[in-house]
Amino acid sequence: MTTSSTFRGRRRVAEIAQAVLLLGLPFLRVGGESALRFDVPTLRLHLLGASLAMDEMFGVLAATLFVTFAFLLLTLVLGRVWCGWACPQTVLSDLTAPLDRWRRRGGTRAAAAHLGLLAVSAVVGASLVWWFVEPRAFLRALAGGTLHPVAAGAWAVLALVLYLDLAFLRARFCATACPYAKVQGVLFDRHTLVVAYDAGRDADCIDCGACVRCCPTGIDIRDGLQMECIACAECADACAPIMRKLKRQPDLVGYFFGEPGGRARLARPAVLALGALTAASLVLLGTTAAARSALELEAEVVPGFAPRRTPDGQVVNAYQLQVENRGREPMELRLALDAPGLSARLTPDEIRLEPGERRDLKVLALADPPGPGGRRVEARLRAGPAAGRGPARSRGVPFVVPEQR
């Protein structure tokens, strides 16, 4: 059992850190772009310096798998610690608790509290829009009265929903509507960390009701584990000083692994299985990130274009290319055809791509025929930096040498 006297203080530190992180992260820039933002105008996900296009979402899928398995593992081992310590719903409810107390008193204080909750909702609503629209651009457009109607509308709806939540729902959302709360019964086992009441020491309870009065979801921890419990440990904080005063130790309510007296036990099948899946998805994510190139190239022969000879005897093949710059800098690229025994010239052989640009182009390859006709040479079409260092990609293509007529 853990000592409970400072759970609230520790939770406040965690909650303020989370609020600062969520409000500040959209402003943090890595490699000239937001550290984490799905940019709606370009449909690209900016993630810690990488810029992923929509068709690169395999990486996003790998990241989603990792987050999902890690979250399931966290729930299995530490129960609803997310709900009590880090969920934005709890964080916002706790950090606006003084306003809520004013609201319940009525009169002018209630009016001031509603204004305060509206202001908080507006700021938090804007911060949610900043995950999709660059925050400095958002603020500039807002100041200049040129905010896009879609961004303004999304902000207004989010702020309204947040205000209604903070003014009228608060922790009742956790107890009634939160889907995560509904599945906790499936995710918990006999060793999961929970806030619990030591029913074996029922005689030590003086039935003062302090643990019930402070509970944000209005339940009685003495009735055992309930779906409404968000593991905030407010009840443990309320009971601990009473037990100390009565010199009845250890605390009657607190965090336990499974049941009062229970100890952490990580070596259990479900934890090991979820741990393996979390590690596997992390490896998949790392592999996907390592294999990613800022330059993307696809190449195929132009359908319907028959390889031919020019009047001076040169052989012409034609390729359809799709080149994409997935980086943040312009690219000057040189195109080349590597084929054994061939010295081929490409037209065009140099292109420039702006950041994020994707281009389809047709390329002609001319070469002196290498020996007799009626042959197919396996070649590689290559795109690389015209000067200096940079990403390079190549694709296998055939170079067909037709018969001499």
Number of residues that bind ligand SF4 (CB under 6 A): 27
Position among 193, 219, 335, 367 found at the interface with ligand SF4 (CB under 6 A): 219
Shortest spacing between CB 91 and ligand SF4, in angstroms: 14
With binding defined as CB under 6 A, does residue 241 bind ligand SF4? no
Of 89 and 217, CB closest to ligand SF4:
217
Stretch that binds ligand SF4, among 52-60, 226-234, 278-286, 306-314 (CB under 6 A): 226-234
With binding defined as CB under 6 A, does residue 196 bind ligand SF4? no
Position among 98, 209, 224, 348 found at the interface with ligand SF4 (CB under 6 A): 209
With binding defined as CB under 6 A, does residue 333 bind ligand SF4? no
Of 162 and 231, CB closest to ligand SF4:
231
Closest CA to 381 of 348, 355, 354, 346: 346
| Structure tokens that stand for 199 in this block | 């029913």
Distance between CA atoms of 7 and 90, rounded to whole angstroms? 14
Closest CA to 262 of 273, 254, 270: 254
Position among 232, 274, 335, 397 found at the interface with ligand SF4 (CB under 6 A): 232
Shortest spacing between CB 231 and ligand SF4, in angstroms: 5
Count of CB atoms within 10 A of residue 160's CB?
Answer: 14
Of 11 and 103, CB closest to ligand SF4:
11
With binding defined as CB under 6 A, does residue 217 bind ligand SF4? yes
Query: If you search the block for the tokens 């939770």, which residue do you land on?
Result: 11
Shortest spacing between CB 92 and ligand SF4, in angstroms: 16
* Contact predicate 41/150, CB 8 Å: no
Distance between CA atoms of 405 and 403, rounded to whole angstroms? 6
Collapsed DSSP state (helix, strand, coil) of residue 343: coil
Of 245 and 405, CB closest to ligand SF4:
245
Binders in 59-118 for ligand SF4, by CB under 6 A: none
Of 91 and 351, CB closest to ligand SF4:
91
Distance between CA atoms of 213 and 219, rounded to whole angstroms? 9
Residue type, 201: R
Count of CB atoms within 10 A of residue 199's CB?
Answer: 13
Distance between CA atoms of 205 and 182, rounded to whole angstroms? 30
Query: If you search the block for the tokens 């999304």, which residue do you land on?
Result: 154
* Contact predicate 18/83, CB 8 Å: no
Of 154 and 231, CB closest to ligand SF4:
231
Closest CA to 209 of 201, 199, 220, 200: 220
Distance between CA atoms of 261 and 218, rounded to whole angstroms? 26
Specify which residues 161 forms β-bridges with: none
Q: Contact letters (x/-) for ligand SF4, 143-182, by CB under 6 A?
A: ----------------------------------------
Stretch that binds ligand SF4, among 19-27, 28-36, 227-235, 327-335 (CB under 6 A): 227-235
Position among 81, 233, 377, 379 found at the interface with ligand SF4 (CB under 6 A): 233
Using CB under 6 A as the criterion, which residues of the chain lie in contact with ligand SF4 when the complex forms?
Answer: 195, 197, 205-211, 215-217, 219, 221-222, 229-235, 238-239, 242, 252-253
